[in-house]
Amino acid sequence: MNMKRLAVCVSLVTSIFLIGLRSASADDRADVMAAVHRYFDNLEDAKLQTALTMCDPQVSILDEFPPHVWHGPTACADWWKALNAYNKKEGITDGDASLGTPWSVDVSGDRAYCVAPTTYKYKQHGKSVEESQAVLTVALKKTKAGWRITAWTWSKH
């Protein structure tokens, strides 16, 4: 086999391999976003158990209200309790958060990183408030049970 033929064969095999990688990566990105949505879209009392299943036992959370950081097996549930206590103290009701189209979803093996804009609408002491420039950043790992959140942070502008 001459060198030109070998180079063409190697190039063809490499191209086919890379195309396959892109497809798997697109599927992984979709799976990551499905996991993020399964958590984020179920943050309400009636659906909370579904959201909590998406948290890794070693999850870490950073958020804008005290105590600002939660970590470990009960972090997601503890964060939810702290959010509700904070909302009650601050007169916040009718909260509704929505996740926008992600700015980036990076998958590398069994790890993923997602950054997405969010909008949070609520009433504070009866007055409507909208945080439209907030950002949700999420780190995940792939487990036997699927993608699980290992860390997330909420940042407002």
The CATH number that applies at residue 141 is 3.10.450.50
Question: Which pLDDT value is given to residue 20?
Answer: 42
Output the pLDDT for position 25: 75
Entry field: residues in the chain: 157
Tell me which residues of the chain have a pLDDT lower than 70. 1-24
What separation, in Å, do the N-terminal and C-terminal C-alpha atoms of the chain show? 62
Give me the domain span that covers residue 106.
3-155
3-state secondary structure of 109: coil
pLDDT of residue 18: 41
Q: What is the pLDDT of residue 96?
A: 94
Q: What is the pTM of this model?
A: 0.82
Dump strand ranges (E) for the chain: 55-62, 69-71, 92-99, 104-108, 111-124, 127-143, 146-155
Q: What is the pLDDT of residue 54?
A: 97
Domain count, the chain: 1
- Burial of 54-71, coded b for 16+ CB within 10 Å and e otherwise, reads bbbeebbbebeeeeeebe
For 116, counting Cβ atoms within 10 Å of its Cβ (0-12 exposed, 13-18 middle, 19+ buried), the class is buried
